[in-house]
Amino acid sequence: MTDAQVVQVALPVPMRQLFDYSCTDNQSLPVPGMRVMVPLQKRTVVGIVCGMSAQSAVPIRRLRHIIRVLDDEPLLTPQVFALAQWAARYYHHPIGEVMQAAIPSLLRRDRPAAPRVAPHWRICDAGQQALSTLPMRYHVQHHVLQVLVSAGTAGLAGEALLGLVPRSSSTVALMTDRGWIEQVTAASVSPVPLSAPPRLNSAQRDACLAIDKANGNYVPFLLDGVTGSGKTEVYLDCVAKTVSRGFQAMVLVPEISLTPQLVERFQARLGGSLAVLHSGLTPGERHRAWWRSREGSTAVVLGTRSAVFAPLPRPGLIIVDEEHDLSYKQRDRFRYSARDVAVKRAQLSGVPVVLGSATPSLESVANARSGRYRRLVLPVRAGVAQMPKVQILDLNRLAVNEGLTAPVVGAIGKRLERAEQSLVFVNRRGFAPLLGCSECGWQAQCQRCDARLTLHRGSNRLICHHCGANALPPHCCPQCAGESLYLVGEGTQRVEEALLRIFPSARVFRLDSDAAGDSQDLAQALSAVRQGEVDILVGTQMLSKGHDFAGITLVCVLAMDQGLYSIDFRGPERMFQQLAQVAGRAGRGQRPGEVLVQTEHPDNPAYARLVQHDFAGFANTALAERKAAAYPPFARFVLLRAESARSGPPLDFLRSAVRVGKARAAQAGVRLMEPVPSPMERRAGRYRAQLLLAASNEGQLHRFLDDWLARLEGLREATRVRWSVDVDPQEMY
């Protein structure tokens, strides 16, 4: 064979290495970024070419041949290819699995790179007439027609339509048959705004000007704006300018529930040149949106975590909304942070990146203070809206009925009299988190997890919120046969039931992961709230993330104290962020807002900061505590996790990991803590343990990990457990 005819391929296997293959004489050599079909043991798999070499650790004559080259040109653009390589190194994850995460699931098989031509839809005259006569109960059809009316004669790309009205494919087909809408051949890309933008205040204008001046250069910005300060308008202004120059923008959001409202706003401002990427799409829809992004036919890519790897031939701007949100961190397998990957991508592409939040992560606050990020501040709410008044209710002095105190009930009643909306925040779903026996002390426990079962009233099941196991609630105590069973605590279902009983004529709506259903149901529910069809909204943390409900003037927070004493050092930070975010849903319109927070610890400094809307003060105290303890962001953490169906092997493996790495860790300035069982040791029938590593020098930490993880793969104990490494863990359990 001639020089450089060994092809190095990344395969979708949990091994930190490339695999060598050869080409047959009649095959042209593939180049990095192309997909190839190759044999692997007794099966065939699709891999990504990562390099070429003239040599191999295996004798060249014994190398297996590539079966087929699947692409005529690299599927991964140079920027995405470089980003995936960096991510594999930084997160110490098998390169093959990282490369697979960077492409749509359909392209992980023997499929053509180009999808079928994406549909583009436009409303017909018959559809215009149908919209005026169609009964409102046909909510999805109404929504589709209204969206296409807004799109005008240019129409709307199929992915953008699905982003606005998720899972509407069958409805679109029905309306096409009826002649209400029609498919046109191509998208009409509008590089200029379609609707007049609102007048920006001085802080918004300053922020837009600073970001605009960074055009063509890597500059990381922290857009620190109070809730309701108009961060989205800053995004829209900057994206519109980026698109007008002929470049593309990427906008990341933490949750699928935020996608429809943002798509609608971007669509109204920028037209149909929008690709939407999130888990609510079918594989085919994701493939087409990804391809439009790769081909450069879309001006804006808007999506959740995995969209950070979408190809952009003409990158100009990257935005990460609600950058503090935990949803940006992948929690299994390839445990990357989309926020941090987005910052690295901006650096590799040489474009500005904007991280926006009313409650920034302490890591981003520290980066801004050190000068690594440039901080832009939006200190007041946009328009005439004012920050809500926050009142702390002392549960030690107030009677509680079904989780509700008299001041909360009275405040909700006043809003009902004034035809205003209220939001009741309960960070627990289900009816009651504990079922027990007062005679013998028995409690309903999950048989597969170290956790209690939660009673769900609608299904009349006891459900584990960790593994999903469920059972019928007993009529008497399984342990003593007594009949003194009791319920403790309040979930969203119990609070909803209580509110319906107290306010029988009110329109009470519960929104949690049990009630939300799929993305279409969620979009419809959020639309109903915005249109004033709900009087009292009861929900969990999904309501605290960026939603703009102009009619809500009262927010009641029922149970958040657990965050004050979390076993995770980030617990207080998460609690304050969630409190500030959910409080920020009140008073975003012209009417003033009020927030009532029930707590058993009213003197805790965090609540005093909340009353003053003083996140900066909270951050100062928290960062000082972190620095004194040598915790992130003043140190780097890595968590080595192990699990097994038996209790002994995880700790055995972690103890061996300490043994083989102890000497080298001391030389590198890396601290290896003692292996311990995970806070919830048994989950879904598997026993879990963890080992924490800490270091002050990032470079030395990564060099240590390179050597140490290679040693761990050779341990006999490693074959008896499932283990993973989590760089920059966001949860310590």
CATH class of 389-432+489-625: alpha beta
Query: Can you give the pLDDT at residue 560?
Result: 85
Please state, in angstroms and rounded to a whole number, the distance separating the CA atoms of residues 678 and 690: 6
CA 493 to chain centre: 25
pLDDT at 57 over 70: yes
Q: Is 202-378 a CATH 3.30.70.980 domain? A: no
Contact by Cβ (8 Å): 650, 687: yes
649: tokens are 């092997």
271 contacts: CB under 8 Å, gap ≥ 6: 151, 154, 188, 189, 190, 194
pLDDT at 188 over 70: no
Please state, in angstroms and rounded to a whole number, the distance separating the CA atoms of residues 113 and 97: 19
pLDDT-based confidence at 185, cuts 50/70/90? low
Closest to 490 (Cα-Cα) out of 577, 578, 417, 395? 395
Query: Can you give the pLDDT at residue 570?
Result: 93
Of residues 415 and 118, the one with the higher pLDDT is: 415
Please state, in angstroms and rounded to a whole number, the distance separating the CA atoms of residues 486 and 437: 6
Q: What percent of the chain has pLDDT over 90?
A: 73
pLDDT-based confidence at 154, cuts 50/70/90? low
Of residues 43 and 152, the one with the higher pLDDT is: 43
pLDDT at 423 over 90: yes
Mean pLDDT is lowest, of 34-43, 231-240, 508-517, 520-529, for 520-529
Average pLDDT over residues 651-669: 97
Contact by Cβ (8 Å): 156, 267: yes
Question: What are 303's strand-pairing partners?
Answer: 252, 277
Torsion (CA) 252, 257, 260, 263 in degrees, nearest 10:
-10
In this structure, are strands 485-488 and 434-437 parallel, antiparallel, or unpaired? antiparallel
Residue located via tokens 């000007």: 209
Query: Can you give the pLDDT at residue 519?
Result: 61
Sheet holding 470-471, edge to edge: 454-456, 461-463, 470-471
643: tokens are 């699990």
pLDDT in tens, 389-401: 999 999 999 999 9
Query: Can you give the pLDDT at residue 186?
Result: 52
CATH number of 636-727: 3.30.70.600
In this structure, are strands 120-123 and 181-184 parallel, antiparallel, or unpaired? antiparallel
pLDDT at 192 over 60: no
For residue 464, with 0-12 CB atoms within 10 Å meaning exposed, 13-18 middle and 19 or more buried, which class applies? buried
Helix/strand/coil for 422: strand
Please state, in angstroms and rounded to a whole number, the distance separating the CA atoms of residues 102 and 430: 36
pLDDT-based confidence at 258, cuts 50/70/90? confident
Average pLDDT over residues 439-450: 96
Does the fold of domain 389-432+489-625 match that of domain 202-378?
Answer: yes
Please state, in angstroms and rounded to a whole number, the distance separating the CA atoms of residues 356 and 319: 8
pTM equals: 0.89
> Mean pLDDT score of the chain, rounded to an integer?
91
Q: What percent of the chain has pLDDT over 70?
A: 96
650: tokens are 């995880």
pLDDT-based confidence at 118, cuts 50/70/90? low
DSSP string spanning 207-234?
HHHHHHHTTTS--EEEEEE-TTS-HHHH
Residues, the chain: 733
Cis preceding linkage at 633, omega within 30? yes
Please state, in angstroms and rounded to a whole number, the distance separating the CA atoms of residues 135 and 674: 65
Residue located via tokens 């043991």: 41
pLDDT at 49 over 90: yes
pLDDT at 195 over 70: no
696 contacts: CB under 8 Å, gap ≥ 6: 630, 634, 635, 636, 669
Query: Can you give the pLDDT at residue 627?
Result: 97
Query: Can you give the pLDDT at residue 699?
Result: 96
24 contacts: CB under 8 Å, gap ≥ 6: 65, 66
Please state, in angstroms and rounded to a whole number, the distance separating the CA atoms of residues 421 and 511: 15
DSSP string spanning 494-516?
HHHHHHHHHSTTS-EEEESHHHH
336: tokens are 């990357």
Please state, in angstroms and rounded to a whole number, the distance separating the CA atoms of residues 410 and 502: 11
Please state, in angstroms and rounded to a whole number, the distance separating the CA atoms of residues 556 and 596: 5
Of residues 50 and 61, the one with the higher pLDDT is: 50
Query: Can you give the pLDDT at residue 361?
Result: 98
Residue located via tokens 């760089």: 727
Residue 461 falls in which region: left (phi positive, over 0), alpha (psi -120 to 50) or beta: beta
Q: Residue 17: phi, psi to the nearest 5?
A: -160, 165
CATH architecture of 6-108: 3-Layer(aba) Sandwich (3.40)
CA 666 to chain centre: 36
Contact by Cβ (8 Å): 334, 91: yes
76: tokens are 């991964």
Average pLDDT over residues 429-438: 94
Residue located via tokens 């809408």: 181
DSSP string spanning 691-730?
EEEEES-HHHHHHHHHHHHHHHHT-GGGGGSEEEEEES-S
Query: Can you give the pLDDT at residue 518?
Result: 60
DSSP string spanning 545-578?
SS---TTEEEEEEEE-GGGGG-SSTTHHHHHHHH
Dihedral sign for Cα atoms in the order 142, 143, 144, 145: positive
616: tokens are 């900066």
Please state, in angstroms and rounded to a whole number, the distance separating the CA atoms of residues 313 and 80: 10
H helices, E strands: number in the chain: 21, 33
Cis preceding linkage at 193, omega within 30? no
Domain spans of the chain, in order of start: 6-108, 120-184, 202-378, 389-432+489-625, 636-727
Neighbours of 175 (CB within 10 A): 24
